[in-house]
Chain A
Amino acid sequence: MRNVLKPSGHWLLHVIVVLSFCFSATVFSQEAETSAEAGTTSAETISANVSNEANSQPEFDSLVKELTQGSLPARAQTAKKLAALKDERVAKIIGALQQGTLYATKDENPLVAIADEAGNYTNAISGEKIIGDTEELKRVPINNSMRSQLRTLLAQLNLTHQDATIRLDAVNRMIADGIDEDSISLLQELQKSEANDGVRKAIDSAVALFNLHSNDQQLRLGAIEVLKDSLQQEVRTALSEVASNDTDEKVKIHAQLAIKAIDSSIAKYRFAENIFFGLSLGSVLLLSAIGLSITFGVMGVINMAHGELMMIGAYVTWVVQQVFPNQIAYSLAIAIPAAFIVAGLVGIAIERGVIRFLYGRPLETLLATFGISLILQQAARSIFSPLNRAVELPVWMSGSLQINPVFSITYNRLYILIFGLLVFFALLVILKKTTLGLKVRAVSQNRAMARAVGVRANWVDAMTFGLGSGIAGIAGVALSQLTNVGPNLGQAYIIDSFMVVVFGGVGNLWGTLVGAMGLGIINKFLEPYAGAVLAKVLVLVLLILFIQKRPKGIFPQKGRAAAD
C-alpha cells in the first residue's frame, strides 16, 4: 500500500515529544510546565493562526472529527488529507493519535481532545482546556500498520518545521523508514529551499538514496558520489546492496569504493570516540588520583581510605539533592564546596587522629588507613543502607552532543573531563603560587629545614592531607554523576588510582595527568579486543611490566634526594 503523504502543520505536542526524547526528560517537564502556565497564551496563538487560515478552518474541523470515526484504512486516508492542510495543529493531533493520547466522544459531532501526562484534556481543535466531565472521552484506537504510517506522516510534517534539529530528525527518520516516490518529490522540493547546511546534506543523502534505485546509470553514480560522505547505517546498507547486486559494473565498483570511504571514516570516528571515552575514563582516574598524588607523592602517606573519602563526597551530593529536591540544576554548586569541606574535615581528622603518629612508617600507615576505610564503608552502610542511591543528573549535564550518526559525546562525561582538568590546574596553581603550596613543597623536600625556618610542619601536614582529601570529595561529586552512589563506590577506583600515581611517577602532578589519561585511553582501546574485564587485567599486567623499565614512573623524581 502506498502512503500518499502531504505536508501540513500542527505540531506543538509532537515537538515536545521529540525534544524530550532527544534531550531529556527534564526538558520535557520544563516545557510542559511553561505550556501549562501559558495555557491561555498558547490558545491565543492558535486562534491567531486559525484566523490566518480561515479558509481551511471548516475542512480542518470536519477532518479532525472524521479522524476519530470509521474504519482504520478510511481514517488513515483522513489523516493524510489532514496532513495536506498545512495547519500547524495537525502535527499535534497526529502525534497524539500515534501516541495513543487522542481521545474523542462517540457521537456524530464528536469532541476531540488530547490528553497530557497529568490526565488533563485539551480540545484538539480550539486548544482550550476541557473542564468538567471527561468520562465520555474514549481513546481513539489505532493498529500497528497505521501507527507506522502515522510516523512517516509526522516526519513529513516535521520537514517544514522551523527548528532545524527537528527537520533534521524528520529527514533521518524518513531515511530510516525508506523513501518512496511521494516523499521524494517533497524532498526534492525542499532540497532547493533548505537553508540549514546539516539538514540540506541529510536531504541530499535521502534523495541520493532514492536515486540509487533509479534506472539511469548516471543518476546512480551521482547518488553514490553524494552518499560516500554519509555515515548513516542505512546508507551503508543500501550501498552494499548496490555494490553486490547492481547490474552495471561501473556502478558496482563505485559503490564498493564509496563503502570503503565510509568504512574508513567510520573507523576514524570510532577512533575519536575511543579517545573521548578514554579521556573520559582518564578524567575520572585523574580526579581520584590527584588527591592521592598529593598525600602519597608530597607527603609520603599511603591513604587507603582515599576511595572512601570519594564515597563521602558522593554521598554529600546525594544528601544535598535530598535537602533541595527542587534545585537539582544548582545542586552541584552547593555539593562541590560541601563535599570538599566534609571530605577535607574527615581527612584532617584522620591525619590528626592516626596518620601523624605513623610518619616515616609507610607500611603501617597503609594498614591503619585501610582499617579506617573499612570503618567508613561500614558507617556508610549503617547510615545510608547498603543499597545504592541514585543521584539525579541536572538538565544541563544530561543528553549528548550528536556530532554525526557514529560519534556522539555525552554531556556529563564532557563536563567531568573539563571539570577534572580545572581541578588539576587549580591544584597546580595552589601548589605553585600560594604560600600553602610553598610550605607544602618545603616540608616535603626537607622537613627539618622547613621547621627551622619557621614553617609549622604539623599544620602543613594537616592542611596538605585535608587538601588531598577534599579533592577526593570533589572527585566523589563527579563520580556521582556517572554511577550510583553506594558504600563500595570508592573501592572500585582505589587500585586504579594508585596505578595512575605509580605509572605517572610519584610526587609529580603532570605525571599523574599523563598517567591517568594514558591508562584511560589504553583501557578503552583494549576493551573492544579483550572485553572490559580482560582489558583491565591486561592493563595491570602491562603496568607491572612497565615498572620493570621505569621503576619510578614516566616522570621520575631525579637527583640525589630521590636516589636514597
Chain B
Amino acid sequence: MNIFSHKRYSMGQKDPNFGAPLDTTHRTILYVEGVTVSFDGFRALNNLNLYIDEGELRCIIGPNGAGKTTMMDVITGKTKPDEGSVYFGQQINLLELSEHQIARGGIGRKFQKPTIFEALSVYENLELATAADKRVWWTLSQQLNSAQKYRIDEVLIQIGLAEHRYKNAGSLSHGQKQWLEIGMLLMQNPRVLLVDEPVAGMTGEETEKTAELLLSLAGEHSVIVVEHDMKFVRSIARKVTVLHQGSVLTEGTMDQVQNDPKVIEVYLGE
C-alpha cells in the first residue's frame, strides 16, 4: 500500500474542495437558473433554466448556435456567466469554483472534439484521470494502489479498450478516442457527466456501442448528452430538452418534442 494514497478521495463522496458531502435531498443534482452569457453583444445564453435529476439521462438538442456548448462551459467553469446561478446539489455554488475544482468535485466533461493525451498510452490516460490527490507534490511520488488498478481494469472493459491498454492513445481510431475520453471521465468517479456530441464521426456500429455505454452509465451517474444525431438521441433519450437562441424552447419525451409546433418551426422554418 502506498502511504500517499488518500482513501477519502477514492470514495468520491466527500471532496475537500467542497468541504461537505454533496447534498441532493431534493433529487435534483444540478440547478442552472437564469443564466445569461453575452459575447460582444451576442447572447449565447439568454436566461437559461435547466434542472437535472440525480441519475437522469438527459439529451439536449438544438440548432447550431443554440448555446449548447456555452451551457457546458458555464457548468464546468470555463465561462463565467454575466447573470444567473449554477448550483451543484443544494449548497455548492459552481460559479465560485475553478475548472479543476469542479472536475475534482464530480462533474466530468467530454469535449466535442476528442481530447485525450495522445503522447501517453491508454492505460496512462486512465491513470492520470484516476480520482486521487491531484496536487503537485503528491503526484511527484504517487503510485497507483491495487484498488485504483482494479478500477482502471474495470473501466477498460467497460469502454471496450481492454486489449489496447498499452497502445499509444494517439493511434486509436476516432471512435475509440471518444470512448477513452468517456473512460477518463469515469475514472474521476463523477456524479454528473457532460457529453458533447459523443457520436460525431462514428460508424453505425460504434454509435450503437456508444448508446449502450451511455445507457449503462445512467442511474449511477447523471448524464447530459448534447447531440445532433436524432436517430441516436431517439435510441437513448428519456427526456429531451430543446435549446433555441440560448434558452429552453421545450422539454419532454422525444415524441412530445418532435410533435411540438415550436420545435418544428425552429428546425424547419429557418
Q: Answer whether A and B are interacting partners.
A: yes
Residues of B within 8 A of A560 (CB): 39, 44, 69-70
Which residue of chain B lies nearest to A558 when distances are taken between CB atoms in the complex? B40
Establish whether residues B42 and A559, one from each chain, have CB atoms under 8 Å apart when the complex forms.
Answer: yes
Residues of B within 8 A of A559 (CB): 39-40, 42
Which residue of chain B lies nearest to A559 when distances are taken between CB atoms in the complex? B39
Q: Is residue A383 contacting chain B, with contact meaning CB distance below 8 A?
A: no
Q: Is residue A333 contacting chain B, with contact meaning CB distance below 8 A?
A: no
B residues 68-84 with Cβ under 8 Å of A? 69-70, 73, 78-79
Q: Is residue A323 contacting chain B, with contact meaning CB distance below 8 A?
A: no
Residues of B within 8 A of A558 (CB): 39-40
CA distance A563 to B39 in the complex (A): 10
B residues 41-58 with Cβ under 8 Å of A? 42, 44
Q: Which of A558, A559, A560, A563 has the most chain B CB atoms inside 10 A of its CB?
A: A560
CA distance A558 to B73 in the complex (A): 15
CA distance A563 to B70 in the complex (A): 11
B residues 163-216 with Cβ under 8 Å of A? none
A residues 132-181 with Cβ under 8 Å of B? none
CA distance A286 to B255 in the complex (A): 61
CA distance A563 to B78 in the complex (A): 9
Expressed in whole angstroms, the minimum distance between the Cβ of A550 and any Cβ of chain B is 15
Expressed in whole angstroms, the minimum distance between the Cβ of B210 and any Cβ of chain A is 24
Which residue of chain A lies nearest to B73 when distances are taken between CB atoms in the complex? A563
Expressed in whole angstroms, the minimum distance between the Cβ of B235 and any Cβ of chain A is 29
Residues of A within 8 A of B79 (CB): 563
CA distance A353 to B39 in the complex (A): 38
Which residue of chain B lies nearest to A556 when distances are taken between CB atoms in the complex? B40
Q: Which of B40, B69, B78 has the most chain A CB atoms inside 10 A of its CB?
A: B40
Expressed in whole angstroms, the minimum distance between the Cβ of A19 and any Cβ of chain B is 57
Interface string of A524-564 (1 = CB under 8 A from B): 00000000000000000000000000000000001110010
Which residue of chain A lies nearest to B113 when distances are taken between CB atoms in the complex? A564
Residues of A within 8 A of B70 (CB): 560
Which residue of chain B lies nearest to A562 when distances are taken between CB atoms in the complex? B39
Interface string of B1-45 (1 = CB under 8 A from A): 000000000000000000000000000000000000001101010
Expressed in whole angstroms, the minimum distance between the Cβ of A560 and any Cβ of chain B is 6
Q: Which of B39, B44, B73 has the most chain A CB atoms inside 10 A of its CB?
A: B39
Expressed in whole angstroms, the minimum distance between the Cβ of A339 and any Cβ of chain B is 37
Which residue of chain A lies nearest to B111 when distances are taken between CB atoms in the complex? A564
Expressed in whole angstroms, the minimum distance between the Cβ of B78 and any Cβ of chain A is 8
Residues of B within 8 A of A563 (CB): 39, 73, 78-79
CA distance A558 to B37 in the complex (A): 12
Expressed in whole angstroms, the minimum distance between the Cβ of B150 and any Cβ of chain A is 36
Residues of A within 8 A of B40 (CB): 558-559
Residues of A within 8 A of B73 (CB): 563
Expressed in whole angstroms, the minimum distance between the Cβ of B80 and any Cβ of chain A is 11
CA distance A189 to B158 in the complex (A): 109
CA distance A215 to B40 in the complex (A): 73
Which residue of chain B lies nearest to A561 when distances are taken between CB atoms in the complex? B39
Which residue of chain A lies nearest to B40 when distances are taken between CB atoms in the complex? A558
Interface string of B58-73 (1 = CB under 8 A from A): 0000000000011001
CA distance A563 to B73 in the complex (A): 10
Which residue of chain A lies nearest to B39 when distances are taken between CB atoms in the complex? A559
Residues of A within 8 A of B69 (CB): 560
CA distance A559 to B39 in the complex (A): 5
Expressed in whole angstroms, the minimum distance between the Cβ of A553 and any Cβ of chain B is 15
Interface string of A348-363 (1 = CB under 8 A from B): 0000000000000000
CA distance A558 to B39 in the complex (A): 6
Expressed in whole angstroms, the minimum distance between the Cβ of B109 and any Cβ of chain A is 13
Expressed in whole angstroms, the minimum distance between the Cβ of B256 and any Cβ of chain A is 31
CA distance A563 to B44 in the complex (A): 13
Residues of A within 8 A of B39 (CB): 558-560, 563
Which residue of chain A lies nearest to B69 when distances are taken between CB atoms in the complex? A560
CA distance A563 to B80 in the complex (A): 12
Which residue of chain B lies nearest to A560 when distances are taken between CB atoms in the complex? B39
CA distance A559 to B37 in the complex (A): 10
Subset of 13 A-B contacts with CB under 8 Å: A558-B39, A558-B40, A559-B39, A559-B40, A559-B42, A560-B39, A560-B44, A560-B69, A560-B70, A563-B39, A563-B73, A563-B78, A563-B79
What 3 pairs across the A-B complex have the smallest Cβ distances?
Answer: A558-B40, A559-B39, A558-B39
Known: A560-B39, A560-B44. 8 other contacts (CB 8 A): A558-B39, A558-B40, A559-B40, A559-B42, A560-B69, A560-B70, A563-B73, A563-B78
